[in-house]
Amino acid sequence: MVKNVLILTLLIGASVGNARAANPAKELTVDLGGGVKLEMVLIPAGSFMMGDARGEYDERPVHKVNITKPFYLGKYEVTQEQWAAVMGSPHSKDAKDPKLPVTGLTGGGCQSFINKLNERHGGKRGDYPGAFNLPTEAQWEYACRAGSTTRYHFGDDKKDLGQYAWYYENSQGTMHPVGEKKPNAWGLYDMHGNVWEVCRDAHYNHNYYANSPPDDPPGPSEVMLKRDSRPIRGGGWNYTAWSCRSADRGYTTHPPRRDSQGFRVCRSVDR
């Protein structure tokens, strides 16, 4: 029986299938079938200061976080056509553009996509070398900042936000197809605005930063809210510039934010 295989188009450096290359490719493309691709960008290991001392109470204290391993992150938010290619059917029959982000998902709904992606293109479910997953909250902020220390990955002045994000002041009251604005310094699009992005952490906790481990924080184990409440990041098309800051934190709601809660995919790097 022929199994689905992960097809990696290695754009820089290593040869196809060389999963343990010493210098992983800067980008990779996963062929989802039917002409649909999942483009991913290599995020290097490194350290950053997580949080915003001038932000909300749940963004403090600002603390050093070490991302000890490189990982790949989706260049774009997961789209309607990517969902259909992986899940076998459209998520929304009302979507007018296949490049629109998938929205209206709980954390469990996002995980269903991740599980199917691993079954079809990764081999197994769960955390193992080469697994697809959601990014942790720490991975997300690190990738969003792309080496910056400012409120947005491009600087502190919100007047420039419209060049990089769809948000309340320029969205015309709707979300937009992915990739229409400028990317950050690491080549990631829509990290600010368009749709909120669900993170892997099992729970949101406003006090987590005070006790967060310095290396690869996985998120809190204790439940602060009685219902499922994963962190979400990035702001959305119907939110203000303040909510689109790199450090801003939110959490999933039930029912989920219908048109402003999506996600993007990360993948570990085989070593």
Q: Could you give the domains of the chain?
A: 27-268 (3.90.1580.10)
pLDDT in tens, 41-55: 999 999 999 999 999
Percent of the chain with pLDDT over 70: 85
Average pLDDT of span 72-79: 98
Whether this prediction's pTM lies above 0.85 is answered by yes
pLDDT of the residue at 122 = 76
**pLDDT tens digit sequence for 134-183:** 999 999 999 999 999 999 999 999 999 999 999 999 999 999 999 999 99
Is the model more confident about 4 or about 206? 206
> What is the SS3 assignment for 187?
coil
What is the rounded average pLDDT of the residues 74-92? Answer: 95
Per DSSP, which regions of the chain are E strands?
Answer: 27-33, 36-43, 46-50, 63-67, 71-74, 132-133, 196-198, 231-233, 250-251, 261-262, 266-268
pLDDT of residue 128: 46
The pLDDT-based confidence of 124 (bands split at 50, 70, 90) is low
Nearest to 103 by CA among 78, 75, 121, 122: 78
SS (H, E, C) 90-133: CCCCCCCCCCCECCCCCHHHHHHHHHHHHHHHCCCCCCCCCCEE
Intra-chain end-to-end CA distance of the chain, in Å: 28
Local structure of 40: helix, strand or coil: strand
